[in-house]
Copies of this chain bind each other. A is one copy, B any other.
Amino acid sequence: MRSGGASAAAAAMAECPRTKRKREEDEADAAEPRDGVASAAPAAAAFPLAELSVRRVLRESARDKAIFLHGQVTGPSGESTDAVVILEKTPFQEEKIPELLRKHARLELQMRNDIYSTYHLYPPPELSEIKTTVVYPATEKHLRKYLRQEVHLVRETWEDYKNITLPFIQSQSFSLQWVYNILEKKAEADRIIHENPDPCDGFVLVPDFKWNQSQLDDLYLIALVHRRDVKSLRDLTGEHLPLLRNILREGQEAVAERFGVPGSRLRVYLHYQPSYYHLHVHFTALGYEAAGSAAERAHLLADVLDNLALDSRYYQRRALTCALRADEPLLAKFREAGRL
């Protein structure tokens, strides 16, 4: 997932003659790096893990077997420096299982009932790696980034969209330059899986940055539409049916051909709210529980098509749920408006 970034030049592509809205984003100024790209700060010192004193747990996931820690390291002159330390247990490696079963340090029976029994198994160190990520020195911004943020559901009516969400989107300097770079082949051109070049009803399909393409389990692609006047699900009407049908059909065909994954094994959906306001569609492996695939945020493209076919103005009539993190400015806007 990627979000903002600076937009300098306006694009000079063939435009869909049906384009109705101006691109507010082109005036944007604020630059924001892509996720995971380090800034150009001075190089960090070696990290003394054993000397870390844990201040608090920022976040933990019992399901993922991961924990995010805020710690401090005390220097020789007594000053403390913040660090973020992320510990995550690693997946089992099939080829090491026989060794694991034989070389366990200890095996304790916990419970037995009929044919079922459970044990505590304690493996040797070399078979129980923990992936450890350190951010050091960490700033307040890093701590905030990793701190668990409660998510709240807001039910956005069409009036809320017009009065709260749309003005908020327009006031933000969301740059879409990285999207335009892809559409204009100025970046990632070699990664394009499929393109329909039609300026109105065409799109480009690229692998999402989260997918390393080395296994199909977490297959993740994004379809970016060529036209630049559709911000999100909220803008869609019956007019967009040909575009959306192209994305569903051609996207499924391209994924089947390139990766051998049939359409019945793909989750094809839009986010509302999206993380950037240029219409895009997610393609993920059905077995992959990608973040953002839950019902409070994901809208199946097949459902969107049916809704628009039944009622061209469906997405201008219906309230939509938005899942907003406690620190998101849009949530504050809903609160200010007394809608929460």
A residues whose Cβ falls under 8 Å from a Cβ of B: 38-41, 43-44, 47, 49-50, 52-54, 57, 60-67, 69, 85, 87, 89-92, 94, 97-98, 100-102, 104-107, 112-126, 128-138, 150-155, 217, 263-267, 269, 286-287, 289, 293-296, 298-300, 302-303, 306-307, 310-311, 317-319, 321, 323, 340
Give complex CA distance A49, B302 in Å.
48
Contact among B115, B124, B154, B264 with A138 in the assembled complex (CB-CB below 8 Å): B115
Total copies of this chain within the assembly = 2
CB–CB B295/A319 < 8 A: no
A340 to chain B, nearest CB (A): 7
Q: Is the CB of A135 within 8 A of B152?
A: no
A94, closest chain B residue (CB):
B57
Given A117-B136, A134-B117, A296 and B267 touching (CB < 8 A)?
A: yes
Whether the pair B116, A62 counts as a contact (CB closer than 8 A) is no
Contacts of A132 in B (CB 8 A): 107, 118-121
From known contacts A87-B92, A97-B54, A295-B299, infer whether A47 and B117 are also in contact, taking CB-CB under 8 Å: yes
Cβ contact of A120, chosen from B104, B107, B119, B129, cutoff 8 A: B129
Contact residues in B for A296 (Cβ distance below 8 Å): 267, 286, 300
The listed residue (B67, B126, B323) touching A92 by CB distance below 8 A is B67
| Given the contacts A132-B118, A265-B152, A294 and B298 also touching, CB distance less than 8 Å | yes
30 A-B pairs, CB-CB below 8 angstroms? A38-B115, A39-B115, A50-B104, A52-B101, A53-B98, A60-B94, A62-B91, A63-B91, A64-B65, A65-B92, A67-B91, A67-B94, A87-B97, A89-B89, A89-B128, A116-B133, A118-B133, A119-B133, A120-B129, A121-B130, A122-B126, A123-B130, A128-B128, A150-B287, A152-B286, A153-B286, A267-B295, A294-B295, A295-B300, A311-B311
